[in-house]
Amino acid sequence: MHRLTIQNFGFARMPEVCFGPGVLKQLPQRVKTSGRVLLVTGSHSFLASEAYAALTQSLAQSGVTVFQTSVSGEPSPTFVDQSVDRYRAEELDWVIGIGGGSAMDAGKAISAMLPQQGSVADYLEGRETRKHDGRKIPFIAVPTSSGTGAEATKNAVLSEIGERGYKNSLRHDSLVPDIALIDPELMLSCPPDLTAACGLDAFTQLLESYVSTKASPMSDALALSGLEHFAAGFLPAYEQGASDITARSHMAYAALLSGVTLANAGLGVVHGFASPIGGYFDMPHGVVCGSLIGEATRINLEVLFGDAEKNRIVLEKFARVGVLLSGRASSSLERDCSKLVTALQALIERTQIPRLGHYNIRPSDFPRILDKTTNKNSPAVLNRDQMQSILYARL
C-alpha cells in the first residue's frame, strides 16, 4: 500500500447538506423565517410535475411569497442581468435553484448578482473588469438530476451563444450554496440517456479530482466515497431508475461529492476538452465527459506507467477505482488499472453514450478544439498528439 502523505491544502466551505428521499418537504421550514423567495427552475417537465405543485402550495401555506422564473438551456449573462433587474426591488430573502446544472447555476448567479452593480458579464472569470465582493442573497440548490454537482460548487457557468460566444464562470468562495437540498425522489423521472450522461459527468469529476495534482487527503476521502456509491448506483439507475430510489440515492450522493471534490481538487483533461467542445458544438457536457473518459483514462495510464515507480501513488488510486468498478482486486497494479479502462469502456458501451461524430464533430474541427484544450490538473501531462488520439478514438 502507498505511504500516507499529507501536504498543505485548502478546503472551501461546503454547503449545509440535507439529503434523502422526501427532504424537499423540509424546504418551507428552511425558509419560513423569511418571507420572500425566488424559485429559479429549468425544465418545463419539473414545472408540470406534482412535486412542483406541492412545493409551491406548501410554501404559500407557510406564508412565503414566491416569485418564479425559468431558464431554458444554459443561462446567459443577459438572462441573469434581466432577472436581477426584475427582482432587485423585491427584497428577496432566498433564491432557490431547482433543476439540473443550468437552473442551479442560473439561481446561483442571480443570488450572487442581486447585491452587486453592473452586468454579470463584467465579473466573469477570464474576462473580468470588476471583482465580486462575496455578498449575495442566501441560496439553496435543489438538483433534479445527478450530474454536475453544482449544488456544492463555488462557480456558475454562463454561456453566450453566437459569433463571439463564450462559456465562463462567475466564481467566488462565497457562491457555494448555503444549503444543498438533495431529494433523490426528484430524480426518479430522469430518462435513461440523461441519467447515463449526468452519471458519467459525476464519475469524471470524481475520478479527475481523485487523481488530480491538487488532491488532498480530505478531497481523496470524499472522492473515494463518491466513487463507491457511483459503482453501486450507476447501472441500476440507468436500467431501472424510474423505481429504484436506492440507486438514485447512490447517484445523488456521488454527484454531490463530485461537486465538493472538483471545487477543492480541480479536474483533468476531459474537462480540459469539455470547455472548447461545449463552446463550439451543441454536445451536452455530460455526453462529452462520458464519451471521452474511457479513452482519456487509458492514455493517462499509458503515460503514467512510463515511470511507474515515480507515479506509484497516483497509479494506486487508479487501481483502487478499477477494483471498485470491477468488484475484485488482483495482486497486480497494472491489471487493476487496466480493469478500470475495461470497466469504463463497458459502461460507455452499455449506456450507448454517443460519439463525437454524432454531433457533427469532424477531424477538421480537432485543431481548434486542441488549441483550447488544457491538461488542467491531470496527473499526466498529455501532448497535443496524445490529446488528438483521444478525439480520434471517439470520433
Out of 15, 268, 286, 290, the residue judged to bind its own copies by CB under 8 A: 15
**Bridge partners of residue 99, in order along the sequence:** 143
Site string for its own copies, 64-83 (x = CB under 8 A): --------------------
CA distance linking residue 209 with residue 227, whole number of Å: 11
Q: How far is the CB of 9 from its own copies (least distance, A)?
A: 5
Q: Closest CB to its own copies among 181 and 270?
A: 181
Q: Closest CB to its own copies among 152 and 269?
A: 152
Out of 160, 228, 239, 316, the residue judged to bind its own copies by CB under 8 A: 228
Contact call for residue 243 and its own copies (CB under 8 A): no
Q: What is the dihedral of CA 354, 358, 360, 361, to 10 degrees?
A: 30
Measuring CA to CA, which residue among 177, 175, 157, 155 is closest to residue 18?
Answer: 177
Q: Which of residues 195-224 bind its own copies (CB under 8 A)?
A: 216-218, 220-222, 224
Out of 78, 246, 332, 352, the residue judged to bind its own copies by CB under 8 A: 246
CA distance linking residue 104 with residue 144, whole number of Å: 10
Q: What is the dihedral of CA 133, 134, 138, 141, to 10 degrees?
A: 130
Ramachandran class of 73: left when φ > 0, alpha when ψ lies in -120 to 50, beta otherwise? left
Out of 30, 250, 271, 320, the residue judged to bind its own copies by CB under 8 A: 250
CB of 35 within 8 A of CB of 93?
yes
Out of 253, 273, 318, 366, the residue judged to bind its own copies by CB under 8 A: 253
Q: Closest CB to its own copies among 8 and 331?
A: 8
Rg over CA atoms, the chain: 21
Stretch of 13-21, 54-62, 301-309, 375-383 lying at the interface with its own copies (CB under 8 A): 13-21
Q: Which of residues 255-284 bind its own copies (CB under 8 A)?
A: 257
Out of 23, 64, 84, 142, the residue judged to bind its own copies by CB under 8 A: 23
Stretch of 18-26, 87-95, 117-125, 186-194 lying at the interface with its own copies (CB under 8 A): 18-26
CA distance linking residue 67 with residue 56, whole number of Å: 10
CA distance linking residue 322 with residue 326, whole number of Å: 6
Grid coordinates standing for 297? 483514462
Size of the site for its own copies (CB under 8 A): 37
Cβ partners under 8 Å of residue 53, min gap 6: none
- Which spans of this chain sit near its own copies (rule: CB under 8 A)? 4, 6-23, 173, 178, 216-218, 220-222, 224-225, 228-229, 232, 246, 249-250, 253, 257
